[in-house]
Amino acid sequence: MSRYEIPGREPHLRLVVGWDRPLRTYFAQVWDERLPEVELEEDAIRLWVGCFAGEITSPEALAEAVKEYADFGPETLERLRNDRAAVE
């Protein structure tokens, strides 16, 4: 599995993206760090995609899923492509 933190469109957004080999899907999680203290980190999640097997099969589809929260640069797209290729 790969996992990268990327900048959000707004400074209060924290994003993690990557490739999940066992599920064969790309994934993303978006947290809003402006939310008041919560008991569980999961309570601050604004978006979580790529939870199901084969859900997101390309870096471009992942970028589309999170476009409200972040822009992927070409280097992020390439890194994600390479992560998948390295394990296939």
Buried b (16+ CB within 10 A) or exposed e, 69-78: bbebeeebee
Domain that holds residue 57: 4-87
Q: How many CB atoms lie within 10 A of CB 45?
A: 14
Domain count, the chain: 1
pTM of the model: 0.88
Residue at token pair 């066992």? 22
44 to 14, 28, 49, 63, 68: CA distances (angstroms): 10, 14, 15, 21, 17
* pLDDT bucket at 87, cuts 50 / 70 / 90: confident
- Does residue 67 register a pLDDT over 70? yes
Predicted confidence at residue 26, as pLDDT, reads: 98
CA pair distance 19, 48, nearest whole angstrom: 13
